[in-house]
Amino acid sequence: MPLRRSKRLLLAVAGTAAIGLGAVATAVPSVAAPPLDLPVLSEGAAAELVPAVTEAAGDSLAGVWFEDGKLMAGTWDPARAPVLSGLGATPVVRDEPRRDPAAVLDQLTVRTAPTMPAGVASYGVDPRTQQVVLDVVDGPGADTLARELTAGLDPSAVRVERVAAAPHRQAAVAGGDTISDGSRRCTAGFAASDSAGDWILTAGHCTRGSSTWYDSGQESLGTGEPRSAEEGIDVGAIPVEPGSASPTVAGTRVTGSKAAPVGASVCLYGSSSGQSCGPVERTDVTVNFEGQQQSGLTSVAACAREGDSGAPYITSDGQAQGLHTGAGGADNCTSYFTPIRTATDALGVSLTTG
């Protein structure tokens, strides 16, 4: 299906009070180092570079993202630029005062716990600007809520944006779905295994409270109790018959789990929406799902529908990315997933590749 991007309206501009938010910053443009004669990278090659670039930048790291065939690596230290370019990344030297988005992220997490305010959609770091982006739901009270949550924070390190609708999880009651417990449907994610046998990964809010799951032909997927991760990590696992879980997603063979950088494209395969692809927007995002704070998610500019919960996100070269939790924004075109390594670690299973 065609990608429909979420339409966002910036709430504030630097030095003005566009909706009464005071000194909330705008997006800060990147300051690129002098042009380098570096080869064009595929998204897979860029992902391979990320660990080395992150290590080389050390505490001077100021964001990593993929853009126009280049792995961009922000740094607060100009002396690190030659090291980063030597690894194959394009350095972006920040010439503005150093910001600490991690500290802002920590403060917002404290201020929105234990129950997320209804007007908060999500918040997470934009590596391109080294700012925390706070998404608030458009409507009465949005400016007041934003002022309260950002009060006292470094105004250069936080950016407030409006979204059209709040996120919500996407399990639904319907028949003829990919997987169903008899009353609601979700989507099968990735195949996994452990010493107990084989599993199909999906969303935790699907597996909680359900003991038996069926495929679209109403055949039982297997015997045994499904697993759910601890509260706050929305992943679960359904036991299946040995060898019945294929390490493929819509014909694409799962070959690994290297995380795609911000800016790289990934595809959601939902039982309702089918294939929906878009670039990774942010990582380590905290999302408000009906008052429940869920952290560590990744946001993607891809559209999703009810029943897509648990669906897999994967790159074109077969790298598993994560499991769908929910979506929000205009037309539900900002989607959120739990990273695959978070999922497998929480459930004590290993991703099945082939």
The rounded distance, in Å, linking the Cα atoms of 299 and 336 is 5
Tell me, yes or no, if 324 is annotated catalytic. Answer: no
Torsion-angle region of residue 178: left (phi > 0), alpha (psi -120 to 50) or beta?
Answer: alpha
The rounded distance, in Å, linking the Cα atoms of 238 and 199 is 5
Question: Counting Cβ atoms within 10 Å, is residue 268 exposed (0-12), middle (13-18) or buried (19+)?
Answer: buried
The rounded distance, in Å, linking the Cα atoms of 250 and 188 is 11
Residue 293, number of CB atoms within 10 A of its CB: 16
The rounded distance, in Å, linking the Cα atoms of 125 and 56 is 21
DSSP string, 215-245: ETTS-B--SS--EEPPTTS--EEEEE-TT-S
Tell me, yes or no, if 168 is annotated catalytic. Answer: no
DSSP string, 306-345: TT-TT-EEE-TT-BEEEEEEEEESGGG-EEEEEEHHHHHH
The CA–CA distances, whole Å, from 48 to 69, 83, 256, 283, 319 equal: 13, 17, 12, 17, 11
Q: Which residues pair with 10 in a beta bridge?
A: 161
Q: Which residues pair with 200 in a beta bridge?
A: 191, 238
- Name the active-site residue from 77, 135, 181, 234: 234
Closest among 3, 108, 247, 60 to 73, alpha carbons compared: 60
- Name the active-site residue from 181, 309, 324, 335: 309
Closest among 226, 234, 208 to 298, alpha carbons compared: 234
Helix (H) or strand (E) holding 199: strand 197-202
Tell me, yes or no, if 205 is annotated catalytic. Answer: yes
- Name the active-site residue from 126, 154, 205, 210: 205
Q: What positions carry a catalytic annotation?
A: 205, 234, 309
